[in-house]
Amino acid sequence: MGIDFTARLDLSEPLPRASSELGSDLRQLATKTFPFLEYGVNFVLHHADAAQSGGVGQDEFIQHFPIADWIKLYNLLEKHEVRRYTPKASLLYLLAENNASNLIRIHPNNLSYCEAEDERYGLPLFAALAVGSKDAVQTFIELEIDEHPQTSKLRKFYSSYRYDESKQPAYKRELKFSGRRTILSYMAELGDDMIWAFLVDTRKISADDTKDKNGLSPFSLAAKIGYIAVINLLLETGEVDANSRDNSGRTPLSWAAENGHEAVVKLLFATSNVDADSRDLIGRTPLSWAAYNGHEAVVKLLLATGKVDADSRGNSGQTPLSRAAENGHEAVVKLLLATSNVDADSRDHIGQTPLSRAAENGHEAVVKLLLATGKVDADSRGNSGWTPLSGQLKMAMKQSSSYSSRQAR
């Protein structure tokens, strides 16, 4: 990097676009004039990192690395505009993207990996995740974990994580960082509970972090996705509201119930004063969401609290039984019918009953269960005038039409 390039390459002016003809000509001139330039630029960090790993200290290299000149040369040689760096890119960001984990360890500001920059991936941590720099990601985590006692929960969690490749997903290179989004929203997109737990434990994401565009807090998002480790860490802070509501009026329990996260539901009931029967803005309860998706274990947990209305109606007038019957969840229908205060023949706002919804969708086993109660009107008519039988005929006609269409192809 000590070679004077200015005699043959004028880099004082802004570079042309990487994809332009002028940009291509300039790259060709550079590589023809300096045959080893591209190799030197692309591998200088790699070789320095290897040297540090081999016991050859690179502190002077880190301290005096000519980052501005390197960025100019890298951008000159880069064929894709989106992969170019801004002049303000930090050395830590470059090391993260280039998986230079050994150099990261001796960087004086190596804990600044969550500071957003005006680069493609924003945070050095996100840069490492986006390009698959696993060594860099592990180094960031280990630098923080080194400060934890041997018995800490985060240490134990990380021990199982680092040796399990299936638990180490990454962003795709197409990731585009936006300052209008929170770190939290990117964590939810990544789907990595270790990284999320790590950021919570080190307070890079706080328990009361800015909610996402839908009003979900870190606690609600963790419950929605089913991240037990993250929920435990957040609960330990004593700073979370287990009944917090998002923009749709939903609580962490509501999200966990909808997605069938049995362990999360148990944890919420065991460790906090959770409202088991909260209603969201469309009048639905955790039981309604769990029943709709057929999560039998969660339905059992909710009913066992003795604190839920098993026959509650949403704004549409549908009950948990109606929701379960509509989707053919036989086991959940059995559970609800065994509950004394459930109306097997309730009518919603368009006059449909659990029987008519089950019949319309062709759920024969559920239809039999409902008829066996002796408490349903098999000839009831909805607001449209259709009976459960006509609903079955309607379903049969749909299936016949679909079959005929496939045969005609």
Query: Any alpha helices (H) in 100-227, and if so which ranges?
Result: 101-106, 124-131, 134-145, 153-162, 183-190, 193-201, 218-225
Indicate the residue type of 4.
D
Tell me how far apart the alpha carbons of residues 257 and 291 are, in angstroms, rounded to a whole number. Answer: 9
The tokens describing 177, both together, are 């960082």
Tell me how far apart the alpha carbons of residues 74 and 97 are, in angstroms, rounded to a whole number. Answer: 13
Residue 283 lies in a domain: yes
Residue 334 lies in a domain: yes
Domain that holds residue 348: 276-409
- Kindly report the number of other CB atoms within 10 A of residue 327's CB atom: 17
Q: What are phi and psi of 333, to 5 degrees?
A: -60, -45
The CATH code of the domain that includes 382 is: 1.25.40.20
User: CA dist 406 to 232, 394, 398, Å?
Assistant: 51, 19, 12
Burial class (CB in 10 A: 0-12, 13-18, 19+), 406: exposed
pLDDT confidence of residue 396: 46
Tell me how far apart the alpha carbons of residues 150 and 155 are, in angstroms, rounded to a whole number. Answer: 7
The tokens describing 211, both together, are 């909610």
Residue 302 lies in a domain: yes
pLDDT confidence of residue 190: 72
Residue 213 lies in a domain: no
Q: At what angle do helices 134-145 and 193-201 cross, to 10 degrees?
A: 30
| Residue 368 DSSP class | H
The tokens describing 112, both together, are 């600044």
Residue 372 lies in a domain: yes
Tell me how far apart the alpha carbons of residues 261 and 289 are, in angstroms, rounded to a whole number. Answer: 12
CA torsion sign for 291, 295, 300, 305 is negative
With b for 16 or more beta-carbon neighbours within 10 A and e for fewer, the 165-196 pattern comes to: eeebebbeeebebeeeebbbbbbbebebbbbb
pLDDT confidence of residue 381: 81
Residue 252 lies in a domain: no
pLDDT confidence of residue 383: 74
Residue 246 lies in a domain: no
E strand map for 10-81 = none
pLDDT confidence of residue 217: 83
What's the structural domain count of the chain? Answer: 1
Per-residue tens of pLDDT for the chain, all 409 residues: 555 555 567 777 889 999 999 999 999 999 998 999 999 999 999 999 999 999 999 999 999 999 999 999 999 999 999 999 999 999 999 999 999 999 999 999 999 999 999 999 999 999 998 898 989 998 998 898 887 787 777 777 777 666 555 555 556 677 888 877 777 777 777 767 778 777 877 777 766 555 667 788 888 988 999 988 888 878 887 888 889 999 999 999 999 999 999 999 999 999 878 999 999 999 999 999 999 999 999 999 999 999 999 999 999 999 999 999 999 999 999 999 999 889 999 999 999 999 999 998 999 999 999 999 999 998 888 777 676 665 554 554 454 444 344 444 5
- Kindly report the number of other CB atoms within 10 A of residue 284's CB atom: 26
Tell me how far apart the alpha carbons of residues 219 and 279 are, in angstroms, rounded to a whole number. Answer: 18
Q: At what angle do helices 37-53 and 21-33 cross, to 10 degrees?
A: 70
Tell me how far apart the alpha carbons of residues 278 and 281 are, in angstroms, rounded to a whole number. Answer: 10
The answer to whether residues 37 and 77 touch, using CB atoms and an 8 Å cutoff, is yes
Residue 382 lies in a domain: yes
